[in-house]
Structure 1
């Protein structure tokens, strides 16, 4: 069985889990060796635009590659906020690098409740705002806002996993990319 060495640009267990599961589905005949490392995103702790969030995911993947150059893949996952209309949306970008190409994909988005929006406007990060509003602790390393708001019908790892799979499209269709 071929081994794929994957460096996840985060020590957050949710991000490691979704990366490992997504890669396992795309490469079912390979053993995925996923390991998380802490690297800088180069953006604000709470990215507030689509572009800033994508930049954070890309920076994380590139910084992971620079830090651990002997892997096969490096993945950056960055959660962000945007206000494209009268509401505030949460989403994430996934950015994957190999030695010869890259891929990216965005999760679905969902509207945040007004109480959380108000806290974010005060400069509080989404995960902290979730903990404050829902009386939780470290929710961003557990089910996250999406898990809390869907009553765990979709947890944070399940939410990110389809974007991991979509970001791998260029790697499984090399003749097209």
Structure 2
């Protein structure tokens, strides 16, 4: 009687779960990190998040909702043009706006997928101290104004204004990550959007 030996089935590359590629329209480590954190907090599976330098096609310091949203949208769209092989493209743009005579800071997040679906969300906003607001009103980008006023270097790639002003209780990564998660709702609830 001849017996047959059974070997465990070998997985080939096609059987393994494909890694999803997410391109962030910026090389800013905070924007890459918050995107990575948001995707991994919301989805199961493997997501590789990479940054790409693309233009926002708006002013260095966007003013108001419309221009800031447009910057985030353009970063996602331009990332898709440059790297169309990805599964998702993310644009994050920080902006400022006047509200009752004070200057507030916030950011927009726009996420696109390969099927043409778009998710978007805005962070909460917070008000800037007058000294920093005056620098921004004078034409300075918020990150540069923070660096000058607080005697720091490249704070926008670290905790940013929100981290400095809250003494680290809310850093820029966590501040943006919540908006990334909210922008992912249409991809989580595809039957509703």
Q: Per the shorter chain, which TM-score range?
A: over 0.9
Q: In structure 2, which of residues 32, 51, 68 is the aligned counterpart of residue 36 of structure 1?
A: 51
Match of 2:141 among 114, 125, 140: 125
Deviation string 1:13-66 (CA, Å, 9 cap, x unpaired) is 000000000000111x21110000000001000001111000000000000000
Q: Matched residue of 1:30: which SS?
A: coil
Structure 2 residue 81 is matched with structure 1 residue 70: no
RMSD of aligned alpha carbons: 0.7
What does 1:1-177 align with in structure 2 at a 5 Å threshold?
A: 1-27=17-43, 29-100=44-115, 101-177=117-193
Deviations 1:109-162 (A, max 9, x none): 000000001001110000000001100000000000000000000110010000
Alpha-carbon distance in 1 for matches of 2:124, 2:137: 22
> How many aligned residue pairs are there?
176
- Stretch of structure 1 that moved more, 57-66 or 83-92: 83-92
2:114 & 2:21 partners in 1: Cα distance?
Answer: 12
The CA distance in 2 between the partners of 1:139 and 1:3, in whole Å, is: 32
5+ residue gaps in structure 2? 1-16
TM-score, with length taken from structure 1: 0.98
**TM-score (normalizing by structure 2):** 0.90
Structure 1's consecutive aligned runs of 4 or more residues displaced over 4 angstroms after TM superposition are none
Gaps of 5+ in 1: none
Instruction: Quote the offset at 1:84 in angstroms.
Output: 2.5
Larger Rg: 2
